[in-house]
Chains A and B, each alone.
Chain A
Amino acid sequence: MTSPGSTFLERSAVSPAGDSLGGFGSLLHAEWTKFRTVRSWVVGMVLAAVVLIALGVLLGSANRSTYSAGPGTEEIIGHPYVPIGPGGEAVTDSFQFVHQQLDGDGSITARIAELTGGRLASGPQGPAGPPPVDEQLPTGNATPWAKAGLIMKADAAQGSAYVAIMVTGEHGVRMQDNFTGDIAGPAVGDPQWLRLTRTGDSVTGSVSSDGTEWATVGVVEPGLPADVLAGMLVAAPFQETVTQQFGGGGTVTGGPTIATATVDSLALQGDWIGPWNGETVGEDLDSERLAGIVGFREAAGTFTVVGAGDIAPVAGGSGTPIERALVGGFAALTIVAVLGVLFITTEYRRGMVRTTFTASPQRGRVLAAKVIVIGGVTFVVGVIAVAITVPISTRLLEANGNFVYPISLATELRLIVGTALVMALSAVLALAIGTILRRSAMAIAVVVVLVVLPYILATAAVLPAGPSEWLLRITPAAAFSVQQTPLAYPQVDGAYLPAFGFYPLGPFAGLLVLCAYAAVALGIAWVLLRRRDV
């Protein structure tokens, strides 16, 4: 650069200091300088991170879980034992297990003659004590996911590896393994013959309607040890009914159910070590209530097995999904959205936008530079804040006795990057809306109505499930699905509702909805910028 005193005609023209991006690098540099030189904006960004972290810490410290192991025992900080499956996820592993030991290869075949079940009649009645077990057993149709079938399991401990083939109340024949694996079998008529065949590491499940013509349902490698417990399983999951009222909350009603299976034509091949042993897997089922009811009887090769509980992944309810620690993300998002709006509207308010477009007449590039700066800064701040919040909050929650659903590293990364992306994309959407409207208050109001309001309406159980799910499909709030860590399993009936943290769209589909909103808003902003006088 020349010194101020030089005569401009005496020197050669100012050397054009271009950059490799055709001047775009300079533009980015300028927008970054603009952002970092307004102290309230920088403070706002830091505040967004602090709010996110602080609310996560608050949630972790304020939620205390206590339980007592049984009547008369002292309440302690902690939670009932939650088994963890071979895949690392929380599982339910409580069922009636009638088993022998099978060493090495072998097979088991049986016919499920009948499966009945339902809600357990309420409590022991009459002065003469409880009625006979047979009279207590419900004889209606088994509940939809009541299970009766054959199983090979590493041991009787909860959470151990297994593979099973079963008849269900309403979902036909299924072959399931290690809690999350689920293969639907072909539709065959009643009665249903089932078979599990172990060859080395792999186990084949087959189904037949007559015991002679067999169809393979699936072949899986569940990682069983050489010696396994194998035999019959009966389970009947806890049944839940959710009712939601317009404008205020919802209630979950339900209760334990049981199932009764009649099994015959049992045939074993291989090195089996008897006798048949009935075991209730899962101590939580071994309550006084069920003690006299669940179990098995054998008469002339026909087994009657009564069971309750479930052998399946946990789909919410018994623990804390870690994304709840990110409640502050919502306040943080509001802050960054306001910053996104102000990043452009303050320029319009003061007329500074004329200086900006005089310095950089290609207005589309100015918009692009602003998007990168506000989106990039928000993303980095979001990643840092969430990456700090998740482990601290997890540790605090666990120290306070809460069960936090274990998540894989990939899920944790998705939670961190995804939440930061939701914040960044919201800031970009806000910037685009601010560019379109040119007025701070109006633009902030529009962003709140688009992103924040649907989220509150849908997840705070203000609206019933149906409208809530639609809001979370068609508004930018759909993107919060990227935070959902518990999975909605098709093979488990659950209250998969927004109010309980379940989103109608998958994590990336939800994020795409927000992307689409941001892209459309940017498109409109770009067209208007080019057309309008400033």
Chain B
Amino acid sequence: MESTIEVSGLHKRFGSTTALDGMTFTVSPGVITGFVGPNGAGKSTTMRVILGLDTADTGDALIGGSRYRELRQPLRQVGALLDAAALQPARTGRNHLLWLAHSQGLGGSRVDAVLGMCGLQPAAKRKAGGYSLGMRQRLGIAAAMLGDPAVLMLDEPFNGLDPEGIVWMRGFLRDLAAEGRAVLISSHLMSELQDTAGHLVVVGRGRVVADTTVAELVETASGDRVSVRTGARTEAMAALADVGATVATTDRDTITVTGLPADRVAALLGAAQVPFSAVSAHRATLEEAYMELTRDAVEFRGDHSEQVR
């Protein structure tokens, strides 16, 4: 099986609310794809449609070319974590994994293997109802890993993890992607994905607003802006505006220049004998890029042809 997720043209309405509005993207093997967007953007609905839990009004969601409902022993092909709290609290963590394993024709030895993999061995025989949110996340990851699947799909996997857990989760997911698996992780916080995801699918209002790599996204958001720190703000603005750059005041001793590279700005200011203490290329954070994109998605709502890429 090819380890991919292909989502094309999903539409779904709940009553008068449009949940999915032409959701289209592809998750490739060997890379962690971040699936980001504000709450209510359609991330969880998309994942449920991919897993055959919800039915889309139109459109297709394929895993390695097949619909989820056509898969035999699907956990051997797709591992999913939707809601870490979806447990019968009276069952022990190990028994929760055991029934799942049995449903895929797997045995207790595989359960013990994934428990070890996720560091849950000490808590395995305790009731899952007493687990912390972080332990439940680990149990959810263990469940997703039961069938050693080629495709992994995790909804908000960092929720409730302590800093040590976050570090563990990042490393774990990177290793999985490095093995050639397709990994899709959703989050409503871009910061969680900054150092983890290689590819990003940004969604807003039920459709994709950006489908790009992390580097491209940051570059696009940064633009060719340059920050200049100077005591002679008026003179600096005059000198730069003369050569056609757009100049804006950021605060009392900083201006932002658009349309010129940093070295050219420095040269121009030097030639005009305007004193300055620093000239630096502005670098947007992923968070800023994300905010900008999702703000656009809100601003351009109703205009379906608008696609920020």
Check A26/B116 contact, CB under 8 A, given A14-B148, A533-B54.
no
Per-position contact with B for A341-360: 1 when CB-CB < 8 Å, else 0?
A: 00000110011101111111
> Could you tell me which B residues sit within 8 Å of A by CB distance?
1, 48, 51-55, 68-69, 71-76, 80, 82-83, 85-92, 95-96, 98-100, 102-107, 109-110, 113-114, 116-117, 143, 147-148, 150, 179-181
Asked whether, in the complex, the Cβ of B87 is within 8 Å of the Cβ of A352, the reply is: yes
Task: Considering the complex, give the chain B residue whose CB is closest to the CB of A40.
Answer: B90
Bound complex: CA A39 to CA B69 (Å): 32
| Set B1, B83, B103: member contacting A360, Cβ < 8 A | B103
Task: Considering the complex, give the chain B residue whose CB is closest to the CB of A16.
Answer: B73
Check A37/B92 contact, CB under 8 A, given A9-B180, A358-B53.
yes
| Set A17, A37, A361: member contacting B91, Cβ < 8 A | A37
Bound complex: CA A16 to CA B71 (Å): 11
Asked whether, in the complex, the Cβ of B143 is within 8 Å of the Cβ of A23, the reply is: no
13 pairs across A/B with beta carbons < 8 Å? Answer: A2-B148, A16-B73, A23-B105, A26-B73, A29-B102, A30-B99, A346-B88, A351-B82, A352-B86, A352-B87, A354-B86, A355-B143, A359-B74
Asked whether, in the complex, the Cβ of A29 is within 8 Å of the Cβ of B103, the reply is: yes
Task: Considering the complex, give the chain A residue whose CB is closest to the CB of B68.
Answer: A361
Asked whether, in the complex, the Cβ of B179 is within 8 Å of the Cβ of A7, the reply is: yes
Q: Say whether A4 faces chain B, with CB atoms less than 8 Å apart.
A: yes
> Apart from A9-B180, A350-B89, A351-B85, what 12 extra A-B contacts exist at CB < 8 Å?
A4-B114, A17-B104, A26-B73, A29-B102, A37-B98, A38-B88, A40-B90, A354-B82, A358-B51, A361-B51, A362-B69, A533-B53
Check A359/B106 contact, CB under 8 A, given A14-B147, A14-B148, A39-B90.
no
The range of chain A's interface size is 35 or more
Asked whether, in the complex, the Cβ of A38 is within 8 Å of the Cβ of B105, the reply is: no
Q: Which of A30-83 contact B (CB under 8 A)?
A: 30-34, 37-40
Q: Say whether A299 faces chain B, with CB atoms less than 8 Å apart.
A: no
Asked whether, in the complex, the Cβ of B85 is within 8 Å of the Cβ of A34, the reply is: no
| Chain A residues with CB under 8 A of B150 | 8, 13
Task: Considering the complex, give the chain B residue whose CB is closest to the CB of A9.
Answer: B180
Check A9/B110 contact, CB under 8 A, given A19-B105, A30-B103, A361-B52.
no
Bound complex: CA A34 to CA B280 (Å): 61
Asked whether, in the complex, the Cβ of B1 is within 8 Å of the Cβ of A13, the reply is: yes
| Set A8, A26, A30, A361: member contacting B180, Cβ < 8 A | A8
Task: Considering the complex, give the chain A residue whose CB is closest to the CB of B90.
Answer: A38
Asked whether, in the complex, the Cβ of A9 is within 8 Å of the Cβ of B179, the reply is: yes
Minimal beta-carbon separation of A60 from chain B (angstroms): 36
| Chain A residues with CB under 8 A of B75 | 358-359
Asked whether, in the complex, the Cβ of A16 is within 8 Å of the Cβ of B90, the reply is: no
Q: Say whether A27 faces chain B, with CB atoms less than 8 Å apart.
A: yes
Minimal beta-carbon separation of B241 from chain A (angstroms): 57
Minimal beta-carbon separation of A354 from chain B (angstroms): 5
Per-position contact with B for A495-534: 1 when CB-CB < 8 Å, else 0?
A: 0000000000000000000000000000000000000011
